[in-house]
Structure 1
Amino acid sequence: MKTVWTISLTGSATLAGATLTSSLTAAATTITSTVTPTPALFQHERVQLTEGVLENCSAVLQNDTVANMFAFPRNSTVSKGDVLHSCKVMPGDTAWPLDTTWDVFDTLLGGSLIKTVPLASSCYSDRPEYDATKCASITTDWLSSELHMADPASIMLPLYEGRSCLPSPYNYTSSCEQGAYPVYAVNVTTVAQIQLAINFARNQNLRLVVKNTGHDFNGKASGKGALSIWTHYLKEKEYLPAFKAANGYHGPAIKFGSGVQVWEAYEFAKSIGHSVVGGEAVTVGLGGGYTAGGGHSPLSSMYGMAADQVLAMQDGRFITASSTENSDVFWMLRGGGGSTIGVVTSLTVKALPQLETTTVTFNFTVNDTPGPDAFWAAVGSYLDNFESFVDAGTYGYYYIGASSAEIGTTYAGDTDYYFRMESFLAPNMSVAQTEALLAPWFNSLNALNVSYTPWYNHADNFHDAWVVSFPEEYVGTDVVKTASRLLPRSVFQNDDLRNQTWAAYQDAVDQGLFIAGFHISGTGIAVEPPTDTSVLPAWRDALTHVIVGSQWNFTSPWSVIEDSSLFVTKWMDVLRDIAPDSGAYMSEADLIEPNLQEAFYGVNYPRLYALKQKYDPTGLFFALTAVGAEDWEVQTTDPLPYSWNNNGRLCPKSS
């Protein structure tokens, strides 16, 4: 064991008078042990903070006040009833850490602490970051995922951080504020840094958030006044050709660092002759809230959810979790949602066979049909085939709305209807097999005199078919609010319920909403779903995941956003009534979903909540819609109800 620790502080008994010297360096221990976890630790996981390191720190400091800022909790059995919750400390509060404290923290981290500024601050002349050239570059790239995921604080959907600093023409105000972008971020490269950040946030009563890439429909990576743990650069990958998992699985597996993104995972799997279950979107982080929230995939109808693939996880507290080791943590992290009890540093997943794959892309508008009745009949014929499509292991990602630009719905009553099959993906199928599967639907379209031109794309592996059929999505705007529902097989086996669903689609569009949907199941036809996950049970019998959204203009005031949000939440009662015993995918759901614990977690919620109290009794890990969120409220500073975004002080829930 090699300990890396040198520190020298002089001055008064408090940190206010501390003078740092050049001997102050990072605090970490490189772990070497005769007991090797399964799978073996990545290098970034071997560099840890231990009690021994902390004892050395305390001895050198001779200052318990300072040393205790970075200490592990002294009582691992503390219960919720023993904890006195209080509002999280914010910049400007008396208890907010001094600049010298942050300096010490940064040094112990090895210089990885970032004092963040809003990404678009270079576009505002009253900001010290003003730079017209940089602003022009940022504005040009503002809608690309790469820009936001490479920034330590930015998120893909700024509505949930408070719309506080966007470049023109995407801004609704002429000012740039920090909003709910975290004020500090730790650019993580080791487990020790995660442990230091967690300890510091807990001991100083700071709000803590975790960012991988910044995806998430509810902005979980944002938090006003927060310290962020940024795991984006945990990129290690390892192929394990004969992995023996604790749950009895014996076969090929891949261990990924939690910063690996979907495109990286898919490329790596292809390079070794395999496939893995990951998201549709190119830039989603595999090891973040995606897998923790269940994780639906173009391969889900074949192999199930992303959480189902996980064989082991390593966590920054620091533990290994599997079906036999820390099994309750393993169960919780496989579907119980991100930002709940810890920070995942890596996950080991099944390496699936290399699959020949066919994709099909096409669209039609009302102008490609004899009229609105034929258009909606064509949409209905798609719903009629959901069951056969899912039972063949396929996946479809589609949009329905009314807009001449074929994006969203321009206004209520617009009749420029469009249907866009972003991609129909058929794993383990040739073009001929895919054509045969689609024939009943396409025969219906032909009978309705619908004009459409399907483009078939085939590859001998999943990656090469996927990469050309799922273009990167636009992000960075604050003009959309969505809600979602999983609709089960029983809806599509019942003529009346299926027709109600078809009528609901038309009603949504006619009322100014748009639909982004998927035909999909969380129970893959090639495998039996595991029983040791906390994935929402409604996923197992789903045939479609339906997202319904409203939109407004960049300059719309908060009152319009509130009204539009309430409207789409209320409208979704139509689908909730059609499938009252189902639920919603938490990562692409309504922030103000009624009965969200039941909708996002189902019968698993009581156990999830109990484990939350066991492992995080102080409520250090918080995110809107996450397990235990009902105990807290974000006292939103924007003219919105509490907990409608992250731009506000985090406090215990008002009685």
Structure 2
Amino acid sequence: MKSILFQLLAATIATASSLPAFYNASGAPPFFPGEDIQLTEGRLTNASQIFPNSSIHRLFGFGRESKITNNITSFGCKLLPGDAAWPSPSTWDIFNFLLGGSLIKTNPLAAVCYPLWPEYSAQRCKEVSEKWLTSELQLASPGSVMQPLYEGRSCMPPGFNYTTSCEMGAYPTYVVNVSTVAQIQLAVNFARNANLRLVIKNTGHDFLAKSSGKGALSIWTHYLTDKAFYPEFESDDGYTGPAIKVGAGVQTREAYEYAKAHGVTVVGGEDYSVGIAGGFTLGGGHSPMSSMYGMAADQVLAMQVVLASGHFITATAKQNPDIFWMLRGGGGSTIGVVTSMTIKVHPKVQMTTVTLNFTADNDGPDVFWKGVRAYFDNVESLVDKGTYAYYFIGASADERGTTAAGNTSYYFQMQPFAAPNKTIEETKALLNPWFTAMDEFNITYTPVYSHADNFHDSWVVAFPEEKVGQDVVKLASRLMPRSVIHDTTLRNQLVDAIQDAIAKGFFTSGVQLSGTGIAVEPPSTSAAAVLPAWRTTLTQTTVGGEWTFQSDWGTVKEVSLSLTSWMDVLRDLAPDSGAYLNEGDIIEPNQSDAFYGKNYPRLYALKQKYDPTGVFFALTAVGSEDWEVQVTDPLPYSWNNNGRLCRRWK
């Protein structure tokens, strides 16, 4: 009988598709089916009547009804498994039944490789090891992350492990596989009321593994993949035109395919696994289409959000406008869980892509760097034509990374150069000044062109899949403004800096783009919380430090500190610029200024208004300075997520 009652309650709260929408505002499209299913005060009361001794309101009540949030201020730390106040197994059972059975007790994906774990399977270990670096494997796992460095390198398969043990590390303890708003509300309320660490994962494409957290409860929005197309949409900010609404689990590839099917173009990520309605857009979101249409955050017309209080709201330019402003560029994991976004789309455009490489082995070091300088000499004019580029520069015979300090096997990889709204012949004309200079230097290169009458078909053949599952790289970045690229002396100093970084054993990558867009009206600097430095950026320069899979934490620490220190060269070159929040240095100095600029005071004030008890946290996110991760690995605090999360008392 008890089991039946639990199932009835779960159906009432989490899966009753016939329930009417609780709230749907004008200026936003209708809710998706899963958004219609919401938690209400009445349903909590019903649950309390069915289970009078289970403290339903105390555990799952909305923010204003919370009875035990004082745990956060009294004890200062989030709970971990094994703590006296950690929810009992019966409480987790109640939670699971309320969710409709969508709670997952997680284990590391690579646990199948370790005999002491009950999941051990030699055959399964072989399969996991072979696919470890693929997005497909990591995305399909509810607890996995793109960059295990930041969860603690705690359980890696053979060949990728620096130890012979497997621990939970900062993989979340429980995951809610959500399909409804009600499930997200239950998870947010439970985490807040029970003083649990809460993290969010949509696709898991995240260079800083913000979806990891030791002992955490994770909200997994991977299967919120609804999509809707609106040929004519009127938004609260005055926009009238085509738009699409996408769920939080929709990947860039899916969005591009959907846009192609409707004859339009979406501003999305470079890699196919980017979650378009997640931290990508919330953090600003640079795109192969940015030089044409601006940042991903500039495209947002409306969004649905579950706030830290557990309440579900719609945010537009007129409804909850401060939240609307904050979540367009102010970063993810700040005040709520986005369930969907409505974004403007643009006309179908043809696109040409070009890939090429050249090396010092063919042309000699001095000539090689002349070719690199010739590229940067043309960046400004190329961006002003609406183009984008993604390139790598390093020193390795394998043309990946930099083998060691002093190596002179230099390579330049363009993978790719993208020219929206351009034919192959028009693209050749754009690149002619650079190619003419390289011809004069007798540099060997072979451009490969691809063209399609739509963005998707050109993108899909030219843009590489990002490597995931690696713990051997630490990244830092700096946005280079037009003032640096335009000035010959400063531009040459940038190339000198890249050469110096490689000489010291680092590698570099970069994207060539504008954060404004030539085909649209320039956005107001106050319209969204996008880092203002993006509006004058022409390139993002990323520098990476490396080690091997077998390197110990001492090496990781040494390389990380060396890289962060070296980046002063670029900070001094562009002192008034900043760094891309989604691809930055986790120990970037002056993070509030670097990642948020002049917007930070307002962002921080909104964080305190909408999440005063700190339900949401991520390293580098707004308000992260109020907390510290007491890392258990031999690293300074807050260098990864493998540790207890505690208030940092001021």
Same fold, TM-score > 0.5, yes or no: yes
Contact 2:58-2:65 at 8 Å conserved across structures: no
1:123 alignment partner in structure 2: 113
Cα deviation code 1:549-568 (max 9, x no counterpart): 01001110100000000011
Contact 2:604-2:622 at 8 Å conserved across structures: yes
The equivalences for 1:630-641 within 5 A come to 630-641=625-636
Cα offset, 1:528, TM superposition: 2.0
Q: How many angstroms apart in 2 are the aligned matches of 1:632 and 1:39?
A: 37
| 1:619 maps to amino acid | G
Cα deviation code 1:245-300 (max 9, x no counterpart): 00000010000011000000000000010110001011111111000000000000
Pairing 1:31–2:20 present: yes
**Which of 300, 309, 330 matches 1:310?**
300
**Which of 531, 536, 547 matches 1:541?**
536
SS in 2 for 1:198: helix
Cα deviation code 1:22-66 (max 9, x no counterpart): 655342462246966421100010001011111111222223734
Cα deviation code 1:220-267 (max 9, x no counterpart): 000000000000100000001110000000010000011000000000
Contact 2:353-2:449 at 8 Å conserved across structures: yes
Pairing 1:441–2:434 present: yes
**Which of 558, 566, 570 matches 1:575?**
570
**Which of 526, 540, 555 matches 2:550?**
555
Q: How many angstroms apart in 1 are the aligned matches of 2:113 and 2:24?
A: 53
2:322 alignment partner in structure 1: 328
Cα offset, 1:473, TM superposition: 1.8
Q: How many angstroms apart in 1 are the aligned matches of 2:208 and 2:540?
A: 17
**Which of 348, 359, 379 matches 1:354?**
348
Pairing 1:625–2:615 present: no
More deviation, 127-136/528-537: 528-537
Contact 1:308-1:529 at 8 Å conserved across structures: no
Contact 1:162-1:646 at 8 Å conserved across structures: yes
2:367 alignment partner in structure 1: 374
Shift of the 123–376 alpha-carbon distance from structure 1 to 2, 3 Å rule, reads: same
Contact 2:24-2:31 at 8 Å conserved across structures: no
The equivalences for 1:215-614 within 5 A come to 215-316=205-306, 317-369=311-363, 371-531=364-524, 532-614=527-609
Q: How many angstroms apart in 1 are the aligned matches of 2:516 and 2:406?
A: 38
| 2:486 maps to amino acid | Q
| 1:397 maps to amino acid | Y
SS in 2 for 1:160: helix
1:154 alignment partner in structure 2: 144
Contact 2:69-2:194 at 8 Å conserved across structures: no
Cα offset, 1:67, TM superposition: 3.3
Contact 1:237-1:257 at 8 Å conserved across structures: yes
Contact 2:25-2:314 at 8 Å conserved across structures: no
In structure 1, list runs of 5 or more residues that go unmatched: 1-6, 10-18
Cα deviation code 1:536-583 (max 9, x no counterpart): 000000010011001001110100000000011001000000000000
Contact 1:139-1:167 at 8 Å conserved across structures: yes
**Which of 80, 84, 90 matches 1:100?**
90
Contact 1:153-1:182 at 8 Å conserved across structures: yes
Q: How many angstroms apart in 2 are the aligned matches of 1:73 and 1:8?
A: 29
Contact 1:116-1:153 at 8 Å conserved across structures: yes
Contact 2:6-2:97 at 8 Å conserved across structures: no
Contact 1:8-1:61 at 8 Å conserved across structures: no
Q: How many angstroms apart in 1 are the aligned matches of 2:379 and 2:85?
A: 57
Cα offset, 1:150, TM superposition: 0.5
SS in 1 for 2:10: coil
Equivalenced residue count is 637
Q: How many angstroms apart in 2 are the aligned matches of 1:203 and 1:356?
A: 52
| 1:419 maps to amino acid | F
| 1:551 maps to amino acid | E
| 1:206 maps to amino acid | L
Cα deviation code 1:328-386 (max 9, x no counterpart): 000001000000000000000111110000000000110221x1111001101111111
| 1:460 maps to amino acid | D
* RMSD (Å), alpha carbons: 1.8
Alignment TM-score, normalising by the size of structure 1 = 0.95
Contact 2:6-2:98 at 8 Å conserved across structures: no
Cα deviation code 1:478-516 (max 9, x no counterpart): 000010000000001212111110100100111100001
1:3 alignment partner in structure 2: none
Pairing 1:86–2:71 present: no
SS in 2 for 1:385: helix
Alignment TM-score, normalising by the size of structure 2 = 0.96
The equivalences for 1:43-192 within 5 A come to 43-63=33-53, 65-74=55-64, 84=74, 86-192=76-182
Identity of aligned residues (%): 61
SS in 1 for 2:219: strand
| 2:454 maps to amino acid | N
Q: How many angstroms apart in 1 are the aligned matches of 2:470 and 2:103?
A: 28
Cα offset, 1:84, TM superposition: 4.9
Contact 2:187-2:219 at 8 Å conserved across structures: yes
Cα deviation code 1:454-479 (max 9, x no counterpart): 00100000000000001212111100
| 1:545 maps to amino acid | Q
| 2:551 maps to amino acid | S
Q: How many angstroms apart in 2 are the aligned matches of 1:21 and 1:211?
A: 27
Contact 2:169-2:214 at 8 Å conserved across structures: yes
More deviation, 34-43/209-218: 34-43
Cα offset, 1:68, TM superposition: 1.3
More deviation, 215-224/53-62: 53-62
Q: How many angstroms apart in 1 are the aligned matches of 2:407 and 2:158?
A: 28
Contact 2:350-2:454 at 8 Å conserved across structures: yes
Contact 1:165-1:175 at 8 Å conserved across structures: yes
**Which of 606, 610, 625 matches 1:615?**
610
Pairing 1:205–2:200 present: no
Cα deviation code 1:110-148 (max 9, x no counterpart): 000000000000000111110111111111110101100
SS in 1 for 2:278: helix
Shift of the 450–211 alpha-carbon distance from structure 1 to 2, 3 Å rule, reads: same
1:14 alignment partner in structure 2: none
Cα offset, 1:92, TM superposition: 0.4
Q: How many angstroms apart in 1 are the aligned matches of 2:199 and 2:523?
A: 30
SS in 2 for 1:74: helix
1:13 alignment partner in structure 2: none
Contact 2:22-2:38 at 8 Å conserved across structures: no
Q: How many angstroms apart in 1 are the aligned matches of 2:451 and 2:5?
A: 61
Contact 2:380-2:485 at 8 Å conserved across structures: yes
